Structure formats: C-alpha cells, structure tokens
Amino acid sequence: MRLFKLTFATIFHRKAWVICAIAVGILPFILPYLSTASEKPVLVQPARIQAAWGALWISALCWGLFTAAQQGENNAKTGVGEYFLTTGMSITRQLLQIWLAIFCYILPFTLIAAAVSQFAALPAAPAERAMWWVLNSQYVCLFLIVIAPLLLLSTALASRFGGITGFAITLGLALYGLYGVGYLDNMLKLEPNAVLRGLWIFSPHYHFADITQRLYFKSGAIAGSSFGMMVAYFLAITAVYGGISRLSFRARISS
Amino acid sequence: MSLPASHPIIHLESGLGIGYGAPIARFEKEATLGAGTHFLLARNGRGKTTLLRTIARTLRQVSGSFRTTGFLQYLPEDLRFDPEITAETVFRMLIPRNRHLEALDLAKSIELDVKKPYGKLSTGNRRKTSLIVAEFSIRPDQGNILLLDEPFSGLDAFARQAFEEIWLKSSSNVLRLVSCHPDYDSMLMPSALMIEDQHIKHITSPNQTWRDLKPLLN
C-alpha cells in the first residue's frame, strides 16, 4: 500500500481538503441564516439539508474529481508510477491505490453531510423521523456509488490524456447525468427524436442519485425494490467505468 | 549451478536488442551481472536509459531475451515527488517503518533538509531523496536489483561518497546497475556495460578505471 500512503499523504499536505470539510461540516449551520430561512424558522432545517448535500456534491465534483485527475496525471508524469511498476506493483493496483486514497477523503465528507442531515435536520413528526435514517443511508449509498467510479475514471483518463482532460470529461459527465439528462428528457417530450431518445437511454442518469429534494420535502424512504434497481443500475455504470478506467490508465508516459 | 535466492542476477542474452521500435543497440555476446556495482557508460543518446527501462520491463526489447532474479527497483532520472510534501513524509510513506530512523540519520549526514517542501529542494537534494527511498526499500532477506539512472547528477562529492559506502556495505545481496558520466579519471569501474557503435559490451577487469574505458567510447 505504499502508493496509497504516498497519495493520501500528498493530498493531506496540500490542505485543500480542509475547505471541503468546512463546506460540508460548517456551512450548513451558517448558510440557512443568510437565506430567507432566517425569516421563517421552519425553513432552517430544509435549508440545512440542501446546504449539506449541496456542499458535498460540489466538493466531490470539483475538488474530488480535480484531485483524482491531478494524482493520476502526476503518477504518470513524475516517474512515480514507473518506479512502482518496476517494483512489481501492477497498473491495476496502482489505479486502485490512488483511487482509494481519494475515496478515503470523500467517504468522511459523505458521512459528515449525512450526520448533519440526520441529526441537525431531524423532522419532528414521528413517522418522518422513523424513515429519516433510512433515507439518509440510501442517499449515502447512492452518492458513493455514483462518485466512486467517476473518481476512478478521472484518475485513469488524466494519466493518459492529462489532468485537464480527465477532470473536464468526468465533471462534464457528472453534470450531464445530474442536469443535462433532464433537459434532454424535456426536449424529447416536446419533439420526439429517435437519435436523442437513444442517447437519453444510454446516458448516465445520475439525477436518480440526487435525492436532496426527497429529504427536503420529507417524502420518505425509497421503496426497497426501487432502491435495489437504482443500486444495480449504478453498479452497472461502475462496471463500465471500471473497464474503461483500467484500459486507459497508464503508469508512465510512453516515450 | 543455481545460486541461492539472496543472489541477484541480470542475465542478458546475446542478440538482445533495445530501442523504441527501431533497434538502437544490441548485445553481441551474452552478459551476466551478479551482486555488486556495475556501471553503464555511453555518450548521450546511445541508449543508457533505454537499456535500464528494458531491464526494468517498462519498455519491450526489440529482439532477444534476458532474465532477472531479485527484487527490482528502477529509479528514473526524472523521478520527482509532489512539491508540497517534505522528504520526511516521502520516507515515512515509502520506507519500511523499522528503517525510518536510519534513513533520517543518513539524510542528516548528507545535509538533506527533510522538513523542507520537496519543491523547494535543489536538484541534488531531490536526487538524495529518491536515492534514500531506493536504498532503504531494499529487501534484506533476498536479492535486490537497483537500476539507477544518472544517480550522481547534481549530487555533491560528500553525498556521493556516502552512497558509495552504502553500496559497498550491501554489495553481497544488491546488484546495482548505474548509468553515469564519470567526472574523474581514477574512478574505479571493475565491471562496466558500454554502449558504442550500437553494440553493448560487458567489460570487466579488477583495476580498470574510467581513464581506461573513456577511449573506448566513440
């Protein structure tokens, strides 16, 4: 686990993770009072939920994917990947160790956001309270299952095509999956088109994993069967991204 | 006769060709390197790094074959760590725990400031960092192969001497193949791989020095 330790220490020394920790752990307690919720106390808790999960998505998509791309590129460019390769650490192990180091930062951020949502925005009604931890756990699960393969892909693409490309492609994919797919769906409702329909079907529907609104409106936990389908769907995306990542990752820039 | 596992070996078959697609040099005769220090000498662009990368298996040979026995580490000339982290962090993350103190002692003796961010270290001090990582990652219970690409570039004479002393102490189970451009004629080179005229030769003699070998380079 030498590369994991080196990558983890490198990220730690760069200190940018502190901004994400503050954004996820502290901003949800400040931002609601800067919004209209300050005039309507009943809105404070929903605003806190939105701030916590919003900060987590932004941190993971901006800092997480950028860091993954940076580490992937550096591993290939600086000779570190080549050094580890000669010591017997395979390309797959290198990719997984870099990914794991970044994931070890994303995981606690996710748990902090879930804890804020669970304990600092707990609904008063007993029925809602009972479902609250289930919904938060489902959100944690869906979020991690979406972000993990994107981090892997960002690392791998950056090692081959450079950091900017790796970051831009994965951020673009994530934003498209979260928001673009919805716009595409609206367009198709107005004017059917077979090509766009095909594109929509094969798009990554990340908006399913963003259940902030469900928490916001206290809509209750996702039904077990639907949740299982969503997990299976995102696991399939993980498998595809895993394969692409393994094929595109390289430990050194070829001469 | 087979040697015990603690004896590192690089066996380079005759006909082994190196290059990036097109061959740039090849072995006319087979060569076997054992424990100890071997120098790799050639003028710029003749294939020193290519040969090291081929032996390290990060580059496919153009023709022929070779085999290695032992835990291998290839230290690229341009190996560098993140500019924000310190040499101390690099050692803590990459060197086995039971050798940290030893590594830090060596760093202190060769005047490497382990608290300074790597990005602010001079070329020589960066070189010291990666050399310490490689030397202290050696596995004492087995044979080791260290492929060092220009390890002396930027290194001061004192640090160079310190590393040469370490090399002597661990010469029984470590094979070092060191590419370099010697800077003094009396440098002892009992075993040298030389690349000249697209041929790679292994030249050995107990008392040969850089002065004797220099005229052989074209």
Q: What is the pLDDT along chain B (218 residues), one digit of tens a residue?
A: 455 567 899 999 999 999 998 899 999 999 999 999 999 999 998 999 999 999 999 999 999 999 999 999 999 998 999 999 999 999 999 999 999 999 999 999 999 999 999 999 999 999 999 999 999 999 999 999 999 999 988 899 899 999 999 999 988 899 999 998 887 888 889 999 999 989 999 999 999 999 999 888 86
Q: Which residues of A touch B137 (CB under 8 A)?
A: 87
- Tell me which residue in B20, B71, B80 faces A79 most closely, judged by beta carbons: B80
Q: What pLDDT score was predicted for residue A138?
A: 97
Residues 156-195 of B with CB under 8 A from A: none
Q: What pLDDT score was predicted for residue B1?
A: 46
Residue A253, pLDDT above cutoff 90: no
Q: Among residues A237, A106, A99, A239, which one has the least CA distance to residue A173?
A: A237
Task: Indicate which of A83, A252, A253 best probes the interface with B, i.e. most B CBs within 10 Å of its own CB.
Answer: A83
pTM: 0.93
Percent of chain A predicted with pLDDT > 70: 99
Residue A109, pLDDT above cutoff 60: yes
- Distance of alpha carbon A64 from alpha carbon B115, whole angstroms: 27
Residue A218's pLDDT band, with cuts at 50, 70 and 90, is confident
Q: Which residues of A touch B81 (CB under 8 A)?
A: 6, 10, 78, 80
Domains of chain B: 21-216 (3.40.50.300)
Segment A2-19 mean pLDDT: 97
Q: Which residues of A touch B80 (CB under 8 A)?
A: 78-80
Q: Does A80 touch chain B (CB under 8 A)?
A: yes
Q: Are B59 and B45 in contact (CB under 8 A)?
A: no
Task: Indicate which of B68, B93, B116 best probes the interface with A, i.e. most A CBs within 10 Å of its own CB.
Answer: B93
Q: Which residues of B touch A2 (CB under 8 A)?
A: 93-94
∠ CA A56-A61-A65, nearest 5°, is 130
Contacts of A126 (CB under 8 A, 6+ apart): none
Give the CA distances from residue A105 to residues A78, A101, A117, A243, in Å, rounded to whole numbers and listed in that order.
23, 7, 19, 23
Residue A105's pLDDT band, with cuts at 50, 70 and 90, is very high
Q: How many CA atoms lie within 13 A of A136 on its CB side?
A: 24
Q: Which residue has the tokens 């470590």?
A: B174
- Distance of alpha carbon B167 from alpha carbon B161, whole angstroms: 10
Residue A112, pLDDT above cutoff 70: yes
Chain-centre distance for alpha carbon A38:
30
Provide the 8-state DSSP code for B63: B
Query: Strand B22-27 relative to strand B144-149: parallel, antiparallel, unpaired?
Result: unpaired
Residue A223's pLDDT band, with cuts at 50, 70 and 90, is very high
Q: What pLDDT score was predicted for residue B216?
A: 84
Classify B85 in phi/psi space as left (phi over 0), alpha (psi -120 to 50) or beta: beta
- Tell me which residue in B20, B79, B137 faces A79 most closely, judged by beta carbons: B79
- Residue in chain A lying closest to B138 (CA): A87
Contacts of A80 (CB under 8 A, 6+ apart): A3, A6, A74, B79, B80, B81
Segment A173-181 mean pLDDT: 97
Interface contact flag, B73 A83, Cβ < 8 Å: yes
Interface contact flag, B84 A78, Cβ < 8 Å: no
Cβ atoms within 10 A of the Cβ of A9, count? 21
Report the SS3 class of residue B126: helix
Q: Among residues A85, A103, A79, A88, which one has the least CA distance to residue A4?
A: A103
Q: How many CA atoms lie within 13 A of A42 on its CB side?
A: 2
Q: What pLDDT score was predicted for residue A255?
A: 55
Q: Which residue has the tokens 């193949």?
A: B177
- Residue in chain B lying closest to A70 (CA): B82
Q: Are B117 and B137 in contact (CB under 8 A)?
A: no
Mean predicted lDDT score pLDDT of chain A: 94
Report the SS3 class of residue B47: coil
- Tell me which residue in B58, B72, B137 faces A252 most closely, judged by beta carbons: B58
Q: Which residues of B touch A18 (CB under 8 A)?
A: none
Domain boundaries, chain A: 2-120+132-248
Q: Which residues of A touch B90 (CB under 8 A)?
A: 6
